[in-house]
Each structure stands twice: as structure tokens, then as C-alpha cells.
Structure 1
Amino acid sequence: MSEQEFKRAFGYANTALDLLHRGQIPPYPQFYELLYTYATGVNPLLNARINAIFQGGEAPDSDLAAKLYDEFLKAHDANERINSVSERMSHRIEAVHDAIDAAMVTASSFSSTLQTATGDLEAEISAAELRAMAQRLLKETRRMQDTNRKLEQKLEAARDDLSALQRDLDEARKESMLDPLTKIFNRKCFDEGLVKAMSEAATYGEPLSLVMIDIDQFKQFNDTYGHQTGDQVLRLVAMTLKSNIKGKDLAARYGGEEFAAILPSTDYAAALHVAENVRKALQAKELLKRSTNEKLGRITASFGVASYRPGDTPSSLLERADRCLYAAKHSGRNCVVGEIGLAAPEHSGKRDPQEAA
């Protein structure tokens, strides 16, 4: 973990502990997790609920914290959907196995009947016995045909059901990788994507760059215009970032008002160009308050750019990009700072964790 990331996480932890103390809520792990998640801002529905509670003058307590934990953190919709689909798949596969077992039993019975008939035919039998044998064989054949027909129907139905279940599973997995507010990839997907991109860069000798983005003065903007407008800003930044990258590039909400872009097959100079394009595109957009059409001004962001070096770990690459981001903040915001030529000691993240706003 980089120094900047440690400071940020420590700031979130302090906020969570302060809220626990103010509400006289026991610092049990689940309540700490609830308020830590609130402090990071990564769950907009949770934040909206807690903000409404604060604005309504209600004092949070253990009972309320337990209800919020059960609603927002104990059960995750995407995971529940994945589990549900997996269970349905299991039931369908069991039904197919049962149908196959039944067909095998019928086939075994039919084979036994044929063997008996073969033995009888080798001996001298009367015409009446021959007719009886023929009727018995016809009956067994029809039973075998009926069983096979039912098996075919079940296999056909299972094929259709499994195809539909696979689509549901793919959608649920995709949903679990998206940030619910901005609809771009979430932190989990970012972490996995960075590891994969770095592995490929090391294996194939391809360039790889990382861009970290922080919305300027976001906390002040949020406090002035409200959380709904703040959510609108987050969606705007996400849309702008996503529309200015392409191919295998990955845009993600890193946490709170911070975003990131993983740029495979992109060298340092090209990554600076991408970051500058996003910065300009974002600055060019004027924000309107939807309820009143009031002009709220323009949103800007600060950018830090770093490129993969042999021997890098995800933490080391993130630390350099983070350091560049904080340098951009200290340089007046609304700018792009890259790692080449950066004076490292002065820009190692000497800021309050809330300064990201």
C-alpha cells in the first residue's frame, strides 16, 4: 500500500470511528464496516440514506446501524443473483442426470428382454409362445422409445434453460464488477484488471500506463449543492472518462471522487495525451442542476500519470501515479502531472485525507 493510499484509508477510518462515537454505536466489525463504507462514498444508496438520516435530525443508534448493515452490506444483489443462478443450474443438471439414469434403467431392462428372447428363439417354441414373445418385445420397444423421447425432451429443455441461465449468470457477474452509481468498473474490477495488465506487459514487453483522477473541490461542491448534484458530477466524470478511452483500456471508479484508467499498450507520452484529452473534455462541460436548470459552473479534475517499469508491483505503480496526482493538486489543480521529472519528496502526499475534495 502506498503512503497516499494509507493516508486516505486512515482518514476514512477516523471518520468511521468518529461517527460510531457520535452515535454511541458499539465499534463492532459490521458497524465499523458500515460507516467506513459511508466514509469512502462508494455506495451511493447507503450514503443517500445516511445523509437523509442526518439531515432529518435523527441520531443513529445500534438498532438503526444493524438495519442499514443488513440492507446494504449483508446481502449483495449481484452475489445473490449469481448464487440463485448457480442453484438453478444445479437443479437443472440434477434433473437431466435423473432422466439419464431412468433411460439407462429402461435400456438395461430392454437388453435383458432381448437376451431372454434370443435364448427362447434358440429352443423350439410354439406359435402361441412366439406371438407372446413378439408382443412382449413390441411392448418393451415402445417403452424404450417412450423413455428416449422423454429424455430428448428433457435434454432439449435443459439446453434452452442452461443457455438462459448462462446469460443470467454472465449479466450478474458483469453487474458485480460495475460501480452502481456511475456504471463504470468498480474498485474490485480495477484491482484485478491492473494485475492482469501488468502481467501481460511483463510477459509481452508491451507498454502500460496508469492514470489517476481526482475531482477538484468535490467535497465543497457536494456540501454546497447537495449529494444528488454530487452524484450527477460523479456520473459526468465517469462518462467523460469512458468516452475518451478505447480498446482494452479500463475506466474505473477508484473510490469516492477518485477515478482511474488502466491503459494497456500505451506508453508514457500517449498516456499524458489521453489524460489531457479527458481533462479538456471535462472542463468543457457545463453542469446544470436538473431540478432548476441552474448553471453550476464547470467541473475540473487533477490527473496523475505513471507508466509500468520492469519489476513494478501494483502498489509501486499506484504509488507513483498517486504521487503525481497529489502533485497536480498542489500545483493548482485542473492539470496533468506525469512522473518524469517529478520532484518526489515534496509531493509524497502531505495532505489531509479529506483534501481529495
Structure 2
Amino acid sequence: MSEQEFKRAFGYANTALDLLHRGRIPPYPQFYELLYTYATGANPQLNARINAIFQSGATPDHDLATKLYDEFLKAHDAHERLNSVSERMSHRIEAVHDAIDAALGNANSFSATLQSVTDGISDAISPEALREMAWQLLAETQRMQDTNHKLEQKLEAARDDLSALQRDLDEARKESMLDPLTKIFNRKCFDEGLTKAMAEAATYGEPLSLVMIDIDQFKQFNDTYGHQTGDQVLRLVAMTLKSNIKGKDLAARYGGEEFAAILPSTDYAAALHVAENVRKALQAKELLKRSTNEKLGRITASFGVASYRSGDTPSSLLERADRCLYAAKHSGRNCVVGEIGLAAPEHAEKRDPQEAA
């Protein structure tokens, strides 16, 4: 973990503990998780609910914290959907196995009947006995055909069901990797994507760059215009970032008002160009308050750019990009700072975890 990441996480922890103390909420793990999540701003719906409570003059207490935890953290829709799909798929597979077992049983019975008829045939057999064997064989054959037809129907239905379940499973997996507010990839997907991209860069010797983005003065903007407008800003930044990358590039919400872009097969100079394009595109957009069409001005962001080096870990690459980002914030904001030529890490150490973006 980088120094900046540590300081930021420690700031979130202090905020969570302060809220627990103010509400006289016991510091059980689930309540700490609830208020730590609130401090990071990673769950906009949770933040909107708690902010409304604060605005009413109330403070979350033990009972309310329990309800909020059950609603926002205990149950995750995407995970529940995955579990539901897995359970349905398991039941369908069991039904197919049962149908196949029944068909095998009937096949064995048919084979036994054939063997019995074969053993009963002799030169001295009477026409009546031969006719009886023929009728028996015909009946068994008809029963086998009926069984096979039913099996075909069950397998056809199972195939259709499994195809639908597979689609549901793919959709649920995709949803579990998306940030619910901005609809771009979430932190979990970012972490997995960065690890994968770095492994491929090391294996194939391809360039790889990372861009970290922080919305300027976001907390001040959020406090001034409200959280719904703040959410609109987050969606605007996400849309702008996503529309200015392509191919195997991955845009993600890193947390709160921070975003990131993983740029495989992109060298340092090209990554600086991408970041500058996103910065200009974002600055060119004028924000309107939807309810009144009031012009709220323009949103800007600061950018940090670093590129993969042999021997890098995800933490080391993130730390360099983070230092560049904080250098951009301390250089006046609304600019792109790359790691080449960056003087020293003092910029990052001046950054307070709870500093307004």
C-alpha cells in the first residue's frame, strides 16, 4: 500500500470511528464497515440516506445503523442474483441427471427383454409362442420409443433453460463488476483488471499505462448544490472518461470522486495524450441542474499518469500514478502530471486524506 493510500484509508477510518462515537453506536465490525463505506463515498445511495438523516438534525443510532447495514451492505443484489442463478442451474442439472438415469434404466430393461426373447427362441418353438414373443418385443420397443421421446423433450427444455440461465449468469456477473451509480467498472474490477494487464505486459513486453483522475473541488460542489447534482457530476465524468478510451482500455470508478483508466498497449506519451483529451473534453462540458436548468459552471479534474516498469507490482504502479495525481492537485488542479520529471514524493505527503477534492 502506498503512503497516500494509507493516509486516505486512515482518514476514512477516523471519520467512521467519529460517527460511531457521536451516535453511541457500538464499534462492531458491521457498523464500522457501514460508516467506513459512508466515509469513502463508494455507495451513493447509502450516502444520500445518511446525509438526509444528518440534514434532519438526527444522528444514526444502533437501531438505524442495523437497518442501514441490512439494506445496503448485508444483501447485495448482484450476489443474490448469482446465487439464485446457481441454485436454479443446479436444480436443472439434477433434473437432467434424473432423466438420463431413468432412460438408462429403461434401456437396461429393454436389453433384458431382448435377451429373454433371444434365449426363448428355438427350432421347436410354436407359432403361438413366437407370436407372443413378437408382441412382447413390439410392446417393449414402443415403450422404449416413448421413453426416448420424453427424454428428448426434457433435454430440449433443459437446453433452453440452461441457455437462459447462462445469459442471466453472464448479466449478473457483469452487474457485479459495475459501479451502480456511474455504470462503469467498479474498484473490484479495476483491481483484477490491473493485475491481469500487468501480467500481460510482463509476458509480452507490451507497454501499459495507468491514469488516475480526481474531480476538482468535488466536496465543495457537493455541499453547495446537493448530492443529487453531485451524482450527476460523477456520471458525467464517468461518461466522458469512457467515451475517450477504446479497445482493451478499462475505465473504472476507483472510489468516491476518484476514477482510473488502465491503458494496455499504450506507452507513456500516448497515455499523457489520452489524459489530456479527457481533461479537455470534461472541461468543455457545461453542467446544468436538471430540475431548474440552472447553469452550474464547468467541472474540471486533475490527472496523474504512470507507466509500467519491469518489476512493478500493482501497488508500486498505483503509488507513482497517485503521486502524480496529488502533484497535479497541488499544481493548481485541472492539469495532467506524468511521472517523468516529477521531482519528489513530497507532493503526496502533503495530501490530507479528507482534503476536499
The alpha-carbon deviation at position 233 of structure 1 amounts to: 0.3
Pair 1:81 & 2:85 matched: no
Q: Deviations over 1:206-234 (max 9, x none)?
A: 00000000000000000000000000000
Pair 1:229 & 2:224 matched: no
Pick closer, same or farther for the CA change 1:3–1:266 going to 2, 3 Å. Answer: same
- Aligned sequence identity (%): 90
Partner of 1:66: 66
Partner of 1:108: 108
Q: Deviations over 1:33-53 (max 9, x none)?
A: 000011111111111111111
**Which shows bigger deviation, 283-292 or 345-354?**
345-354
C-alpha distance in 1 between matches for 2:122 and 2:302: 93
Partner of 2:240: 240
Partner of 1:326: 326
C-alpha distance in 1 between matches for 2:38 and 2:107: 62
The alpha-carbon deviation at position 60 of structure 1 amounts to: 1.1
Which sections of structure 1, spanning at least 5 residues, go unmatched?
Answer: none
Q: How does 1:1-357 map to 2 (within 5 A)?
A: 1-122=1-122, 124-357=124-357
C-alpha distance in 1 between matches for 2:349 and 2:232: 28
The alpha-carbon deviation at position 356 of structure 1 amounts to: 4.7
The alpha-carbon deviation at position 351 of structure 1 amounts to: 1.6
Indicate the RMSD between aligned Cα atoms, in angstroms: 0.8
The alpha-carbon deviation at position 58 of structure 1 amounts to: 2.4
**Which shows bigger deviation, 249-258 or 130-139?**
130-139
Q: Deviations over 1:227-280 (max 9, x none)?
A: 000000000000000000000000000000000000000000000000000000
Q: Which amino acid aligns with 1:211?
A: V
C-alpha distance in 2 between matches for 1:356 and 1:201: 35
C-alpha distance in 2 between matches for 1:245 and 1:349: 30
Q: Which amino acid aligns with 1:109?
A: S
C-alpha distance in 2 between matches for 1:128 and 1:317: 89
TM-score, normalised by the number of residues in structure 2: 0.99
Q: Which amino acid aligns with 1:47?
A: N
For the 8 Å contact 1:257–1:356, the answer to whether it is kept is no
Q: Which amino acid aligns with 2:200?
A: E
C-alpha distance in 1 between matches for 2:2 and 2:123: 89
Paired residues, number: 357
Pick closer, same or farther for the CA change 1:123–1:98 going to 2, 3 Å. Answer: farther
C-alpha distance in 1 between matches for 2:111 and 2:318: 68
The alpha-carbon deviation at position 15 of structure 1 amounts to: 0.7
Q: Which amino acid aligns with 2:111?
A: S
For the 8 Å contact 2:323–2:345, the answer to whether it is kept is no
Q: Which amino acid aligns with 1:82?
A: L
**Which shows bigger deviation, 216-225 or 41-50?**
41-50
C-alpha distance in 1 between matches for 2:91 and 2:257: 43
Matched residue SS, 2:296: strand
TM-score, normalised by the number of residues in structure 1: 0.99
Matched residue SS, 2:184: coil
C-alpha distance in 2 between matches for 1:105 and 1:345: 74
The alpha-carbon deviation at position 126 of structure 1 amounts to: 1.6
The alpha-carbon deviation at position 92 of structure 1 amounts to: 0.5
Q: Which amino acid aligns with 2:150?
A: K
The alpha-carbon deviation at position 57 of structure 1 amounts to: 2.1
C-alpha distance in 2 between matches for 1:84 and 1:123: 63
Q: Which amino acid aligns with 2:41?
A: G
The alpha-carbon deviation at position 346 of structure 1 amounts to: 2.3
C-alpha distance in 1 between matches for 2:36 and 2:74: 14
For the 8 Å contact 1:303–1:336, the answer to whether it is kept is yes
Q: Which amino acid aligns with 1:252?
A: A
C-alpha distance in 1 between matches for 2:174 and 2:128: 68
For the 8 Å contact 2:220–2:356, the answer to whether it is kept is no
Which sections of structure 2, spanning at least 5 residues, go unmatched?
Answer: none
Matched residue SS, 1:329: helix
The alpha-carbon deviation at position 123 of structure 1 amounts to: 5.3
Q: Which amino acid aligns with 1:308?
A: Y
The alpha-carbon deviation at position 63 of structure 1 amounts to: 0.8
Q: Deviations over 1:291-329 (max 9, x none)?
A: 111100000000000000000000000000000000000
Matched residue SS, 2:248: coil
Q: Which amino acid aligns with 1:101?
A: D
